[in-house]
Amino acid sequence: MSTPYYVSPDQIWEDKKVFVDRGIGQAKEVVVLEYNNGLLMVAENPRRTIFKISEIYDRIALASTGRVSEYETLRVVGIREAEVKGYTYYREDVTGKWLTNLYSQHMMTIAQAWDVKPLEIELLVCEVDGNPDFRSQIYKIAFDGTYEEMEKFAVIGGRAEAITEKLNETYTEGLELTQAMQLASQTFESIEVEETEPYQITPHTIEVGCLDATYGRRQFRRFTVEEIAEILNHAS
Amino acid sequence: MLKPDDYGKTDFLQILKSRCPDQVADWNRLNSTHNTLPHNYLEGTTVLALVYNDGVIIAGDRQATEGFQVGERRIQKVFKIDRHSAIAVAGVAGPCFETAKLFQVQVEFYEKMEGISLSLDGQANYLSSLVRMNLSLAMQGLIVLPIFAGYDLKQKKGRIFKYDALGGRYEEDTYYAIGSGGKDARSTLKKMFRPDMSEQDALTAVVEALWDAADEDIATGGPDLIRKIFPTLIAITEQGVSEVSDEIVAGLFDELVSRLG
């Protein structure tokens, strides 16, 4: 039997990061913004049935980017576990932080395994109405399961940093839903202008969902193309 | 992580059974040697549904009995299932509510997994299996009987499904009522039903049926004017499920009383 080559943990970890960054670098972005009644999620996504934004539970939604098949599994895991937990205890006991830890553990386990490729995805767990002290909570989870708490807005995807910089200047608190949607679409437009082959931002090419604390128990809502068009036209 | 085999599973009950078996009542553990059943359980009484031109109304009284006593005056027997359907349950309260809760979670679970609502027929079929789950309970005389009603977006009409204790599913085109006062309510609905009724006429008929059930059946609760407790009425149309407010229901009973008096 031949002796395996020694590879330092630093090197292994560095390789995995480079590999994932290359995948995420090409991924379209999702922006999540807090508005006066909840959280708005907007993604560059021309597909009509394959989503980046999805409902997990009453007050919780998932925004994801990267490989669809990989985040799809986590979406399903999240819904299953949330329903089981909510059925066992009470619906309000299902929280965003709990779901974030669940995802984090799954992703960390895969990232640390030596014989599997890490997941090429980034996630935002979005929650409204969970804690009376905050209007919303957003958790950003990286491929290796590390996560951080975001305030007011968050971005995932290839150009997340550039978009975050823009939003740092333009985002204000207490936006109306229509204003928040307009801000998100303008932010995407301004980032696309800098591209050699810009992606057209139209109601058909963005996916929009929200968690609105005024909707009663199920707070998630997905906007149709017509609804998006109406809001964006009305706003401009 | 999820095994590929598990991925396509959309049956919440099976997932719950495999993950937390203690959360699902296993009535099959009851057997014929346990002849002495506890007596202190609650029973829900009258529930009904009626088709009208815009959809369907589903309703129930608010009383539950415990033997010959009033067990609960404010119980809810009618539950919204999804945007276009609702269930009303009569029978032994505990398993009734468990059935309704499981059914609601299942339909919502399916919708989230698939991204589209479970069809009305799909919902009605699934409910069959939930009712059948309580079979051994039914053998002991503890029966759970639901009425399921919804607006069918494809057929553009309100539909009513009734069940028997063995899980048999039957569709009613017009109206149905079940529970201890079910027969009395059915008699009234039979006399008052007309094809293509307006919502107002339908509500009037439903309120009169509930009144007659409460009048003839000691277990069914009528409107409680002192405590301000009124039966639950839910209208389901193309626009979705909406509960008829207590004020409107109280007004309908006032009209009925002046008509009868």
Residue A234 banded pLDDT, cuts 50, 70, 90: confident
User: Where exactly are the structural domains of chain A?
Assistant: 9-235
Rounded Cα distance between B21 and B5, Å, is 20
Which backbone phi and psi does A177 adopt, to 5 degrees? Answer: -55, -45
Q: In the predicted model, what is the mean pLDDT of residues B206-227? A: 95
d(CA A226, CA A184): 17
Among candidates A71, A41, A228, A43, which has minimal Cα distance to A138?
Answer: A41
Distance (Å, whole) CA A183 – CA A178: 9
CB contact under 8 A, B1 and A49: no
Give the DSSP H/E element, type plus range, for residue B232: strand B232-237
Confidence of residue B30 (pLDDT cuts 50, 70, 90): low
| pLDDT of A143 | 96
Gap from A220 CA to chain B (nearest CA, Å):
11
3-class SS at B158?
A: strand
Question: With 0-12 CB in 10 A as exposed, 13-18 as middle and 19+ as buried, what is A193?
Answer: exposed
What average pLDDT does range A226-233 have in this prediction?
93
Q: Are A55 and B20 inside 8 Å of each other by CB?
A: no
Q: How confident is the model at residue A236 (pLDDT cuts 50, 70, 90)?
A: low
Q: A208 by DSSP, 3-state: which?
A: strand
Q: Does residue B31 lie in a domain region?
A: no
- Nearest chain B residue (CA) to A109: B1
Interchain proximity A73–B7, CB inside 8 Å = yes
Domain coverage including residue B126: 40-260
pLDDT band of residue B179 (cuts 50, 70, 90) is very high
* Overall domain count for chain B: 1
pLDDT band (50, 70, 90) for residue B19:
confident
Read off the tokens for B214.
């409460």
**For the domain that residue B47 is a member of, what is the CATH number?**
3.60.20.10
Q: Which residue has the tokens 């990286």?
A: A142
Residue pair B43/B64 in contact (Cβ under 8 Å)? The answer is yes
User: Which class for B241: exposed (0-12), middle (13-18), buried (19 or more C-beta within 10 A)?
Assistant: buried
- Confidence (pLDDT) at B34: 58
| Residue-level length of chain B | 261
Token representation of residue A154: 């968050």
pLDDT digits (tens, 9 = 90+) for A57-71: 999 999 999 999 999
CB A210 within 8 A of CB A55: no
Instruction: Verify whether residue B45 is a known catalytic residue.
Output: yes
Cβ contacts of B2 on chain A, cutoff 8 Å: 73, 76-77
Of B23, B109, B112, the CB nearest to A88: B23
Cα torsion angle, A9, A24, A126, A76, sign: negative
pLDDT tens readout for residues A1-60:
677 788 898 999 999 999 999 999 999 999 999 999 999 999 999 998 899 999 999 999
Catalytic site residue from B36, B45, B46, B99: B45
How many CA within 13 A on the CB side of residue A77? 20
User: E strands of A146-212, at which residues?
Assistant: 147-150, 153-156, 206-212
Q: Determine, yes or no, domain membership for B57.
A: yes
Residue B3 forms part of a structural domain: no
* Bridge partners for A154 per DSSP: A32
Q: How confident is the model at residue B42 (pLDDT cuts 50, 70, 90)?
A: confident
B192 contact partners, CB below 8 Å, separation of at least 6: B201, B204, B205, B208, B209
Helix (H) or strand (E) holding A233: helix A225-235
Question: How would you classify the pairing of strands A121-128 and A136-141?
Answer: antiparallel
Domain A9-235 CATH superfamily: Aminohydrolase, N-terminal nucleophile (Ntn) domain (3.60.20.10)
Please spell the DSSP secondary structure of B32-78, one letter per residue: TT-----S---EE--EEEEEETTEEEEEE-S-EEETTEEEESS---E
Helix orientation angle between B12-19 and B93-114, rounded to the nearest 10 degrees: 110
| Per-residue pLDDT, A235 | 58
Q: How far is CA B67 from CA A130, B70, B97, in A?
A: 42, 8, 19
Average pLDDT over chain A, rounded to an integer: 93
Report residue B31's pLDDT band, with 50, 70 and 90 as the boundaries: low
Residue A218 per-residue DSSP state: -
Size of interface A-B (CB pairs under 8 A): 40
| Residues of B with Cβ-Cβ distance to A54 under 8 angstroms | 112, 115
User: pLDDT per residue over A65-94, tens digit each?
Assistant: 999 999 999 999 999 999 999 999 999 999
**Does B169 fall in a domain?**
yes
